Amino acid sequence: MSVSKLPDHADTSQLRVRAKELRRAYAGGSPAAVARVRAVRPEAPAEITLRDAQLVIAREHDFAGWRDLVEAVVAQQSGGGDLHRWFGVELNNGTWDVLSGGLSEESPLIERERALYAAYASTYHWMQVGTVANHGRGEYMIAGVAVAIGLLEVAGRHAARYAELIEAHPAAFADWDRAFAAEALARVASRSGDPGAEGLRAEATRLIEAIADPDDRRVCLERFAAAPW
């Protein structure tokens, strides 16, 4: 595997954005994007996955696959240290990409397993080097994956843990954490047919409306509007 094309200051978040942009451009019929994708996957269908786009980015940097590229970037930027933080970030971002891409109970088993295990792994890494807020947000991500793939008992346990951490350490969390925790509990209740779901959903709505920062409020509203309920 060659590392000759790895940028001096490569960043996994920027590389991920480039993969998303490539996927959108390919779907839009951009000749340049089509040429890039077909150079790696000559038989690529009319619509490619984010994983396909990431493979193209990796190959363009002379790496066999996305994981190899990410590992090289992590090693470069961390100097071999603080890998818990790097992998916490990478696994977190990758998991949210999968969730926003439509992960569901109908997704292939391997995709459901990867997402759930990545959420757990990200949370583990953050627990080694992060704050209690990082831990809590990891619990939220696990709950989000679990509810998306139909593991409602698992989702409920982690949503409740997020709320517990906020209650135990109120100063460590932001106003939007409280809204997300309420949304997670409401979503699990709704999916489980709990008669108290509407009340929980109303409480989540109230907390979202109370978020001070407009951008934070918008992010919460987008998550609140997303399936599944």
Q: Which CATH architecture has domain 82-225?
A: Alpha Horseshoe (1.25)
Q: What is the largest CA-CA distance in the chain?
A: 59
Tokens of 30: 């951009």
- Give the tens place of pLDDT for each residue, 84-129: 888 898 899 999 999 988 999 999 999 999 999 999 999 999 999 9
Q: Which among 136, 145, 219, 141 is positioned nearest to 176, based on CA atoms?
A: 219
Its pTM stands at 0.73
Q: What's the one-letter identity of residue 168?
A: A
Extract the residue ranges of the chain whose pLDDT is less than 70.
1-5, 7-8, 78-81
pLDDT attached to residue 155: 98
> Is the CB of residue 99 less than 8 Å from the CB of residue 115?
yes
Q: Nearest 10 degrees: CA dihedral of 5, 6, 9, 11? A: 130
Domain parsing of the chain, residue ranges: 12-75, 82-225
> Is the CB of residue 69 less than 8 Å from the CB of residue 60?
no
